[in-house]
Amino acid sequence: MRFVDLDLGGSLQAYEPTWAHQRAVHSAVADGLETDTVLLVEHLSVYTAGRRTARTDRPTDATPVIDVDRGGRITWHGPGQLVGYPIVRLAEPVDVVGYVRALEQALIDVCAGLGLAAGRVEGRSGVWFAADPGGRRPARKVAAIGVRVARGVTMHGFALNVCPDLTAFDRIVPCGIADAGVTSLSVELGREVSIADVVPLVRTQLSTALRPLLAAGRAARAGADAAQDNAAAISLPQT
C-alpha cells in the first residue's frame, strides 16, 4: 500500500479536483493497473454532504455544499484537518463495517500515540472523546468517517481534526448529530499540533489496521503459508 501526499505542507487543495483524482485512482486500482493507494490531503474550506444528509443538517444561509456519493451526512473539510482517502481493494467477502472499524481503530491508535484516550460511541461512526465527568463537556468527535465501496475497492475515507478553526462546524449539524460536540487534537492536548506532526503516525497506524483486510495482504499471506508448507514437506525425512 502506497501513500501519496497531495502537496501536504504546501498549498490547500480544492475538493472537486481531488474528488476527480480519487475517481481516477479508484478506476485504476479496480482495473488492476495501480496498487492500493492512500491519498492524504488538506483541503480548502468546503462542506460536503453524504447520501444520508437531511435538509435540516445543511447551512441555513445558502452556503454552497457539494453533494457526494459517500455514506454519512454533512461535514466540513478545511485548513488544519487531515483528510485521508484510502483507495484499496478489500478481500472477499467484502466487510464494509469491518473496514470502517479498522479506520476507526487506526485513528484511535493515532490519538493514543499522542497521549490521548479516544474511542467509539455506540451507534455512531467516527472517533470520539467521552463526555467529561460532571457533564462539563459532552462527547465530542475528533474524526469523521464516510466511505463508499465499488467493485470491491474503497473510496472517500476519514477527516481528522488536527488544528482547524472549529467554528466552521457551527453552520451545520455535523454528521447529523445535534447532541454532541466537535473537537481537535490541539484542543484536547492543550497545545498546537500540526498536520506534519500527525502524518507519520497516520501512515503507520493505517498500514497496521488495514493490512488484514486487503486482498493483496491476504494473497501475500496465503503465498507465504504455501511456501512454508512446501518447505516443510521437502524437509521431511525419507522412510
Q: Which residues are catalytic?
A: 175
List, in sequence order, every residue forming a beta bridge with 3; answer none if it has no partner.
38
Ranges assigned E (strand) in the chain: 2-5, 37-41, 46-49, 66-67, 74-77, 81-87, 119-121, 124-129, 140-150, 153-161, 181-182
How many helices (H) and strands (E) the chain has is answered by: 5, 11
Q: What are phi and psi of 196, to 5 degrees?
A: -60, -30
Is the previous residue joined to 93 through a cis bond, with omega within 30 degrees of 0? yes
